[in-house]
Amino acid sequence: MLTTLLTSIQTALTASKAFVLSGLLPVTLFALASGALLARVHPGFGAWVFSADAARAPVVGVAALVWVAAAYTLSALGPTLLEVLEGKHPPVSWLSSLLYGRHWERRRALLSRYRDCAREEAEFQRKAEAWKKRLVVARRIGAARGTCTEDPATAARLHDVLRRSRRGEAVRADAVNTATRELHGLLVRNSAELEASARSAALRRAHEQLIEAIDDAWARHRFERIHLYNLIQFRYPGAPEAHEPGSSLSSLAPTAMGNVGRTIRSYALTRYGMDLDIFWTRLQKTVQASKDFHTVLQDTKILVDSLVALTWLAGLFTAGWMLVLPWIASSTIEFLVVGVLGPPLTVACYALACRSYGVFADLLRSAVDLYRLDLLKELRIPLPYGSEEEKRLWEDLGRLTGYGRPMAIIYERGGVR
């Protein structure tokens, strides 16, 4: 009976993808790395591991049980370990005052770049066509002169704009404005239509290249603005546009992972007025009805948990062995190897965990977009007619279900009308 029970438990555990990837695999890698290092500093341990001594069988059995128990414990602690890296619990929360400032400065720098790109794009949108028309008119005036006596190469600012455009660098509107004035003067005083004149041909090329540079700079600022907008909204809570002072939507976490996690709630609140702290557990049931999407969501969460576990174990391996090696190692080589490779490996695991968490957060945002109205159907609440009505509906539902405030809700059946 006991054997059957243990077998069923083992089958259930090993068949679980979450247990294997977020518990068994990280613990196995930790055990192998620790065993290899211990065999390096203590040759007797390596000889004992590979010996055929029957007396070691009980020790191996106990080690196997400890291995499985550690893997199961690590898998079960996955959500807590994630929350620690988000800055919600000690020891990371103890460092909040030190870590917060860095993320505040980074978000502030991104916002500054975003607003600068938005201003530049607006300038190009307002002036680009006027620049082009001005150059066309100037070229017509110059064509009537029938001569070309000036070399376009003397226009330093014009050629600086063209050179930067060819290199793929961002060109500001004021630089383009100056280059346009220079080229305008050249086109008015010289003809760009003389086939036999090298200077006229160079002037004609400069005109064509500046038109292309204007379009390219405009498109580049538009692309960069959109890129920065997405970067801000997917890395930090809140939105690049101005929001209400003191709003919890823009409240930063002390860590990168914590800020990614907060983007999920801020997205649902800013778009739909839906508080996921209240509605996520209810939305889960609706999401589970779509097996394909739910499978992708679960697989991504497993990857996040696995990388979080690897981050913790890499840090534990580095810190633990750097404390132990000075006492048991016969040389400094092992200490240097752990000290040099351990911290970058831990940081790399954390960076990968943040990237995977970003993908998971994006899937959760998609779940809100795709399944929130299905949740209303599950709750027997009529669908709203527009976005403003939907926001009011989710806010009222949040006050009723989350905070117990009396709100008048209309149902499709059995409700008060």
pLDDT number for residue 53: 64
Residue type, 289: A
The confidence score (pLDDT) of residue 14 equals 42
The 3-state secondary structure of 102-161, one letter per residue: HHHHHHHHHHHHHHHHHHHHHHHHHHHHHHHHHHHHHHHHHHCCCCCCCCHHHCHHHHHH
Residue 263 shares a structural domain with residue 373 = yes
Range of the domain at 339: 2-86+255-378
Query: Residue 60's pLDDT is what?
Result: 75
CB 143 within 8 A of CB 193: yes
Q: Are residues 68 and 141 in the same domain?
A: no
Could you say which of 171, 203, 235 is where a domain stops? 235
For residue 403, the model assigns a pLDDT of 87
* 224, 170 contact by CB (below 8 A): yes
* Same domain membership, residue 115 and residue 33: no
Mean pLDDT by groups of 10 residues along the chain of 417 residues: 41 64 93 89 71 68 88 92 95 92 94 96 97 96 92 91 94 96 95 92 95 97 96 87 53 94 93 93 92 92 95 96 86 88 96 97 96 94 93 93 85 60
pLDDT of residue 49: 67
Q: Which structure tokens are listed for 309? A: 């576990």
**243 in any annotated domain:** no
Instruction: Answer whether residue 164 is part of any domain.
Output: yes
* Same domain assignment for residues 294 and 372: yes
Give pTM, 2 decimals: 0.84
Asked if residue 302 is part of any domain, the answer here is: yes
pLDDT at 42: 79
DSSP characters for 43-85? HHHHHHHTS--GGGHHHHHHHHHHHHHHHHHHHHTHHHHHHHH
User: Is 266 inside any structural domain?
Assistant: yes
Both 12 and 61 in one domain: the answer is yes
Tell me if 36 is assigned to some domain. Answer: yes
Which candidate, 317, 381, 256, 280, places its Cα nearest to that of 32? 317
pLDDT of residue 55: 62
Asked if 176 and 130 sit in the same domain, the reply is yes
Bond into 79 cis (ω within 30):
no
pLDDT for 367 equals: 96
| Residue after which a domain boundary falls, among 235, 270, 302 | 235
Tell me if residue 236 falls in helix, strand or coil: coil
Please check whether residues 21 and 48 belong to one and the same domain. Answer: yes
Task: Verify that 108 and 223 share a domain, yes or no.
Answer: yes
Q: List the one residue out of 208, 116, 130, 210 whose CA is nearest residue 162.
A: 210
Alpha carbon distance 20, 10 (integer Å): 11
Q: What is the pLDDT of residue 83?
A: 95
pLDDT score recorded for residue 179: 96
- Report how many domains make up the chain: 2
